Amino acid sequence: MPGDTRPLETAPCAGADLLIEAGDLSVRFGGILALSHIDLKVCRGEIVSLIGPNGSGKSTLVRAVAGLVAPTSGTVWRQPDLRLGYMPQRLSIDRVLPLTVRRFLSLAERSRPAELEAALAEVEAADLIEHSVHDLSGGEFQRVMLARAMLRKPQLLLLDEPLQGVDLGGQLALYDLIGRLRRRHRMGVLLVSHDLHIVMAQTDRVVCLNQHVCCSGAPESVQQHPEYVALFGPEAARRLAVYSHAHDHEHDLAGNPVPAERTSQGVGK
Ligand SMILES: Nc1ncnc2c1ncn2[C@@H]1O[C@H](COP(=O)(O)OP(=O)(O)OP(=O)(O)O)[C@@H](O)[C@H]1O
Ligand SMILES: [Mg+2]
């Protein structure tokens, strides 16, 4: 809905469909106020994108939702027994030790070999299973990280900058893949990005963060919000408008455009 800048409290769910809810959440690290009075809900089956400049608290919010950072004040509620899949922004892997993709995944979650293979197949990376994680390209590594997050059969997927090291075509393809996974499994997805124009085709709601929630709502409405324009500049808002009108297709994992219907087939949408 253009011009819709309703706050997130109007998230379109309640009851069993509500996966997490942060209420008046603030997080302070010593003298640094990383998050200030955040309200956030994520529902089953929706993709919520967190955008904001460096240091705006995006990772802290994701980590608070995951229970890895304690609130200084306010609350984070998670649905009882909620299964979370978390893809961190950074992961240091000891390059000295040889490590295949298979071993890397099995270290993350005790899974049967068939489950590892299925998780890789879901991210269209089955052929990487015996590769060394050290030799993967940026895009391959991010897909393996996505498979790793999917191993827990999550109801909520937390993706902190899943596009790092991925070229533009690969970024669009990865987001299309995330969109298909969410439809297939009816997961909630909370994902972090610097760049709204890349995520918007797969995003239901956007939360623009700068310690506090600057604005939130449908992607088309957020781009027009004065706080979004103030944070990212009029050029970013203009680029976004062009992109939102042009994006009528999805991308295969080589980054090639394909009609939206084809990549969405068979995913139960
Ligand atoms: N464990 C920590 N201890 C101290 N300060 C922290 C810690 N984690 C985050 N911070 C600080 O909190 C602020 C928000 O950091 P955060 O990593 O959440 O930002 P971000 O939006 O994810 O940034 P980026 O886009 O660079 O990833 C920063 O000033 C950061 O230095
Ligand atoms: Mg971060």
End-to-end CA distance of the chain: 21
119, pLDDT greater than 60:
yes
Ligand 1 atom nearest to CA at 61:
18
Task: Give the per-residue pLDDT at 204.
Answer: 92
> Burial code of 180-193, b = ≥16 C-beta within 10 A, e = fewer?
bbbeebebbbbbbb
**What is the rounded distance in angstroms from the CA atom of residue 175 to the CA atom of residue 179?**
6
| Average pLDDT score over residue span 131-148 | 94
For residue 137, report the distance from its CA to the centre of ligand 2, in Å.
21
pTM: 0.84
For residue 61, report the distance from its CA to the centre of ligand 1, in Å.
10
CA angle in degrees (0–180, nearest 5) for 143-150-106: 85
**Surface-to-core class of residue 79, CB atoms within 10 Å of its CB (0-12 exposed, 13-18 middle, 19+ buried):** middle
Q: Residue 49: name the closest of 149, 162, 153, 138 by CA.
A: 162
Percentage of the chain lying above the pLDDT 90 cut: 55
Residue 109 banded pLDDT, cuts 50, 70, 90:
confident
Ligand 1 atom nearest to CA at 57:
18
70, pLDDT greater than 90:
yes
Instruction: Please write the tens of the pLDDT for every residue from 239-258.
Output: 555 444 444 555 555 555 55
Task: Give the per-residue pLDDT at 228.
Answer: 79
Residue 169 banded pLDDT, cuts 50, 70, 90:
confident
| Average pLDDT score over residue span 99-107 | 94
Residue 118 banded pLDDT, cuts 50, 70, 90:
very high
Task: Give the per-residue pLDDT at 63.
Answer: 97
Retrieve residue 192's tokens.
Answer: 């972090």
Dmax over CA atoms of the chain, in Å, equals 53
Question: Which of the two residues, 14 and 71, has the higher pLDDT score?
Answer: 71
Q: Which ligand is nearest to the CA of 209?
A: 1
Retrieve residue 26's tokens.
Answer: 């603030």
Q: 8-83+154-264 has which CATH code?
A: 3.40.50.300
Task: Give the per-residue pLDDT at 91.
Answer: 84
What are the structural domain ranges in the chain? 8-83+154-264
Task: Give the per-residue pLDDT at 262.
Answer: 39
| Average pLDDT score over residue span 123-147 | 94
Q: Which ligand is nearest to the CA of 69?
A: 1
Please state which of the ranges 29-43, 172-186, 192-206, 252-266 shows the lowest mean pLDDT: 252-266
What residues pair up with 192 in beta bridges, in sequence order? 50, 160
Q: Residue 2: name the closest of 235, 250, 240, 188 by CA.
A: 240
Residue of the CA atom closest to atom 28 of ligand 1: 55
Ligand 1 atom nearest to CA at 60:
18
Compute the residue count for the chain.
Answer: 269
Instruction: Please write the tens of the pLDDT for every residue from 212-234.
Output: 999 899 888 887 788 877 887 76
265, pLDDT greater than 70:
no
Q: Residue 146: name the closest of 134, 161, 162, 130 by CA.
A: 162
Q: Which residue has the tokens 């809810």?
A: 21
* DSSP codes of every residue in 66-121: HTSS--SEEEEEE-TT--EEEE-S-----TTS--BHHHHHHHHS---HHHHHHHHH
Question: Which of the two residues, 9 and 131, has the higher pLDDT score?
Answer: 131
Retrieve residue 93's tokens.
Answer: 């892997």
What residues line ligand 1, using a CB cutoff of 6 Å? 29, 32, 34, 52, 54-60, 89
For residue 160, report the distance from its CA to the centre of ligand 2, in Å.
7
| Average pLDDT score over residue span 68-81 | 97
Q: Which ligand is nearest to the CA of 58?
A: 1
All residues at 6 or more sequence positions from 92 whose CB lies less than 8 Å from its CB, including other chains = none
43, pLDDT greater than 90:
yes
Task: Give the per-residue pLDDT at 250.
Answer: 58
53, pLDDT greater than 60:
yes
Task: Give the per-residue pLDDT at 83.
Answer: 96
Residue 64 banded pLDDT, cuts 50, 70, 90:
very high
Helix (H) or strand (E) holding 220: helix 219-222
Average pLDDT, the chain: 83
